[in-house]
A and B are shown apart, each in its own frame.
Chain A
């Protein structure tokens, strides 16, 4: 990294502070390299010649630079088994807690919101089939939701290119997909039938309420795009959409600590997740 594009410690702290206040994204020193790479990408794209001039642009949000910057962390990342440490956490710890009070045959509900073109809810289904021995004991319902009905149509169809499948083994691809041609694979009908899709706007209480209550919610990389008020409303909607004791998993740059005190933070071996408290404290 050359002198002009490098980010010194003081600049890194200022950037983190700014991002935290504006977007709720949270970065520690350990993510410094990762953040610097994204800064360099954006500096290149905007023609900024120093960090300071890029930061000025970001601060005054020239041509929607804040959204562009956030995008640099999130787009092109919709592939199967993305952030699988959270899936690991799901089967190692979260489901054990959620099923402790359930009987065989009880319903277990998981929500992926926003689900975009379906990679996440299908990944959850595949992961449970492959990694959770109790998968047949419960009536598992996986719901994928997004505000964009076009991506939901694509999710229902379930056709993906090579990039989306890059983290899957040939065995997994053979087990869950049907190859359509050189470049396209479609999720098998059985698996498609196991995931339901419904359009939902996360900041509309009337829309989130109709989805009922879930045991686990995956809500990754969407709250960082909201303004303060929308984030608060979304957090309250998510709280209502969780069963007491239910868990919510956020994206890797996100933390509920910037957004809402409604949840309790829980640290498991593989991930940090947020929990709707079982009982309320007076």
Chain B
């Protein structure tokens, strides 16, 4: 057995950096945020520091470190923030950790908060097309909120497959009165069909 166990050795500096996240000096907080990218023990402290962090540069560094750690649980709560900067920062970080986000996607897409559902559609873009396609079909089949559907349709327009067409058509009928959705759905269907022809031919 090694003389010093690895986790014990790495958690002491992590605690020190976690304290520095509350420093009055933004440069110190920036350095602390970056240093914690390699210690899983720091994820909780990084997540907690986000809410109070006013310096956008330090926020950015915290999100990058959380993305490197794949610390989904520390980032997710901020997807619900009223602060647009924090909310979109969280989304960017989640976008950068596809593998860690993957197990959470289905429940995010069924979240009671439509804003969370809407933003989560974006996260499927990084998945293999087939997987994203079926998740987005599920969304437009059951979703009552026009803007969430719009977000799913935007993803389908990029990587949708022929299996999505029937659901897209039903969605267009449901929201026939809303100018944007029928428009977007028509474009998405055209793109999927063109893509299909190209791959078949």
Interface, chain A (partner B; CB < 8 A)? 14, 17-18, 21, 49-50, 52-53, 55-56, 59-60, 205, 227-229, 232-233, 236, 260-262, 280, 282
Contact = CB atoms under 8 A, between A and B. Distances in A.
Contacts of B125: 21
B95 A53 contact: no
Nearest to A233: B64
B194 A52 contact: yes
Contact of A236 (B54, B64, B96, B129): B64
A260 B54 CA distance: 17
B87 interface: no
Nearest to B55: A280
B129 to A, nearest CB: 6
Contact of B60 (A52, A205, A228, A260): A260
Contacts of A233: 37, 64, 68
Contacts of A262: 57, 60
Contact of B64 (A53, A56, A59, A229): A229
B197 A52 contact: yes
A interface majority secondary structure: helix
Interface in B23-43: 26, 34, 37
Nearest to B68: A229
B96 A53 contact: no
B159 interface: yes
B15 interface: no
A260 B56 CA distance: 11
Given A229-B67, A280-B55, A282-B54, A55 B198 contact: yes
A236 B195 contact: no
13 contacts: A21-B125, A50-B201, A52-B195, A53-B198, A55-B198, A56-B195, A59-B129, A228-B96, A233-B37, A236-B64, A261-B56, A261-B60, A262-B60
B198 A59 contact: no
B73 interface: no
Listed residue (B61, B158, B198) with the most chain A CB atoms within 10 angstroms of its CB: B198
A173 B198 CA distance: 51
Interface in B142-169: 158-159
B96 A280 contact: no
B97 A53 contact: no
Contacts of A60: 129
B80 interface: no
Contacts of B96: 227-229, 232
B107 interface: no
